[in-house]
Chain A
Amino acid sequence: MASLSLTASFMQLLQRDLLLALRRRSELVSPLVFFVLVISLFTLGSGASATTLGMIAPGIFWVAALLAVLLGLEGIFRADFSDGSLEQLLLSGMPLSVLVLAKVTAHWLVTGLPLLLLAPLLSLMLRMHNDVVWVLMATLLLGTPVLSLVGAIGVALTVGLRQGGVLLAVLVLPLYAPILIFATQAVGFAADGLPVTAHLAILGACLAAALTLAPFAISAALRVGIN
């Protein structure tokens, strides 16, 4: 065990999680279906006139993305917690923050990345302009990893609890507010033909901060949750 290097253990855990996720394909698809559903329902509920859609499309898109990420979050640790492999990870002697980062990366690859790939299709439904779609995808690329990282802290805190789901939403959604604001504003600016570099830079800064700080918070939370 001790012979494994950090990178090797990171890659192994990443591979294992991706493999497990690919074996349960229906679980992968549900958040995406949910994502498309929420966007369609918003559009149905607010009237599909082009002017309304143009105003609220970034908001709809990002709120739906938040909810879809939230829905898939529990999968990061729940299965590993119930079959005991999470405890083994804690006991493995490897730095927990690195292992946790591998799990979050795997989770983002199967939930965040598909949202990014769906974006061009859905932006057609929401009648977004072509140039805007690129900005939207850039915000998703920078923003959804932050959502996964911050959300994983919440999952780690609630992993052993009975009423996990709603509690997780209450803990995590307020922390998502800044990302929602910066991302939707960037898309809105792009639609008005204004420069968006500042917004993207801030989103990038959030990503850098989350990438460096969140793994430590996640592992601290896991240590609290599992004795």
Chain B
Amino acid sequence: MWTIFHRWASPPYFYRQSTRLLPWLSAICALLIIAGLIGGLILAPSDYQQGESYRIIYIHVPSAWMSLFIYMVMASSGAIALIWRIKLAEVMLVASAPIGASFTLLALLTGVLWGKPMWGAWWVWDARLTSELLLLFLYLGIIALYNAIDDKRRAASAIAVLALVGVVNIPIIHYSVQWWSTLHQGPTVTKFGAPSIYIGMLIPLLLMALGFMLFYAISVLLRARTELLAREAASRWVREMLEEA
């Protein structure tokens, strides 16, 4: 187990293995997303209350899940980077930040689009919307801090600290906002009718969630590979690989 971990932490090995992995990941991801879209947009029945416009959840919910998941990935790779000084964990952290911010923005925008027909307003200070907005600010802060520090290894350690501080705050922010909005709002917010969701709607949603997960894996691998090449441009394995190609 540890040997696998150590091997993947070495940049040349990671680079070569990810070259082999990427086509497979892309194919599976495309299949999942196509299946999820067909299932969600065509096969799934329309909702008895929300009509057709509920179908935006097939984008909205997976991206909201991803926005939190990616933050967790960033915090754990930040911890790994700070404790064991593994370069690859730093690279993963740096590569994840813009993707996470994009998913957060996507979740917010789709939420806004869905809110207009459902709640009658583009923006409602609902607990989830607000905490998602604060999450976006956390992401933007991390990106801004990374760009402000010139020495990129130092910058990676700095955002690792910030990501860990943020991860302690996320539950506090979440509960504070939930408490705040439930006491101040109330009747304008209609949540998804029943907690149990019809199986024909659920399967496409899960397919989309898996597809988004793979999409994240692909894009983070691509970004991490570029970042690695840029960082290690002077090292031997990069030169050897270029000569082979």
Chain A residues proximal to chain B, CB less than 8 Å: 150, 153, 157-158, 161-163, 167, 170-171, 173-175, 177-178, 181-182, 185, 206, 209, 213, 217, 220-221, 224-225, 227
Kindly list chain B residues whose C-beta atoms are within 8 Å of the C-beta of A220: 82, 161
Tell me whether B28 is interfacial, beta carbon within 8 Å: no
Q: Is there contact, CB below 8 Å, between A158 and B145?
A: yes
Interchain CA distance A6-B177 in the complex, whole Å: 39
A-B contact pairs, 10 of them (CB 8 A): A158-B148, A171-B162, A173-B137, A174-B138, A174-B141, A178-B177, A181-B176, A182-B176, A217-B164, A220-B161
Q: How many A-B residue pairs have CB under 8 A?
A: 70
Q: Is there contact, CB below 8 Å, between A177 and B183?
A: no
Kindly list chain B residues whose C-beta atoms are within 8 Å of the C-beta of A178: 169, 172-173, 176-177
Interchain CA distance A218-B156 in the complex, whole Å: 16
Q: Is there contact, CB below 8 Å, between A157 and B158?
A: yes
12 extra interchain contacts, Cβ-Cβ under 8 A, other than A174-B137, A221-B161?
A153-B165, A157-B145, A167-B145, A167-B148, A170-B140, A174-B134, A174-B141, A175-B166, A178-B173, A224-B157, A225-B154, A227-B154
Chain A contact residues: over half helix, strand or loop, or mixed? helix
Interchain CA distance A221-B159 in the complex, whole Å: 9
Total chain B interface residues with beta-carbon distance under 8 A:
27
Q: Is there contact, CB below 8 Å, between A217 and B141?
A: no
Q: Is there contact, CB below 8 Å, between A181 and B180?
A: yes
Tell me the B101-148 residues at the A interface (CB within 8 Å): 134, 137-138, 140-141, 144-145, 148
Tell me whether B168 is interfacial, beta carbon within 8 Å: yes
Chain B residues proximal to chain A, CB less than 8 Å: 82, 134, 137-138, 140-141, 144-145, 148-149, 154, 157-158, 161-162, 164-166, 168-169, 172-173, 176-177, 179-180, 183
Interchain CA distance A158-B162 in the complex, whole Å: 11
Interchain CA distance A158-B149 in the complex, whole Å: 9
Interchain CA distance A36-B209 in the complex, whole Å: 50
A160 CB to nearest chain B CB (Å): 8
Which of A153, A170, A182, A227 has a CB less than 8 Å from the CB of B161? A153
Kindly list chain B residues whose C-beta atoms are within 8 Å of the C-beta of A217: 161, 164-165
Kindly list chain B residues whose C-beta atoms are within 8 Å of the C-beta of A221: 158, 161
Kindly list chain B residues whose C-beta atoms are within 8 Å of the C-beta of A157: 145, 158, 161-162
Kindly list chain B residues whose C-beta atoms are within 8 Å of the C-beta of A224: 154, 157-158, 161
Which of A163, A171, A177 has a CB less than 8 Å from the CB of B176? A177
Most chain B CB within 10 A, of A181, A213, A217, is at: A181
A18 CB to nearest chain B CB (Å): 27
- Nearest chain B residue, comparing its CB with the CB of A175: B169
- Nearest chain A residue, comparing its CB with the CB of B174: A178
- Nearest chain A residue, comparing its CB with the CB of B142: A171
Kindly list chain A residues whose C-beta atoms are within 8 Å of the C-beta of B172: 178, 206
Interchain CA distance A32-B149 in the complex, whole Å: 31
Interchain CA distance A2-B190 in the complex, whole Å: 63
- Nearest chain A residue, comparing its CB with the CB of B138: A174
Interchain CA distance A217-B169 in the complex, whole Å: 13
Interchain CA distance A178-B166 in the complex, whole Å: 12
Kindly list chain B residues whose C-beta atoms are within 8 Å of the C-beta of A158: 145, 148
- Nearest chain A residue, comparing its CB with the CB of B171: A178
Which of A163, A181, A206, A227 has a CB less than 8 Å from the CB of B148? A163
Kindly list chain B residues whose C-beta atoms are within 8 Å of the C-beta of A225: 154, 158
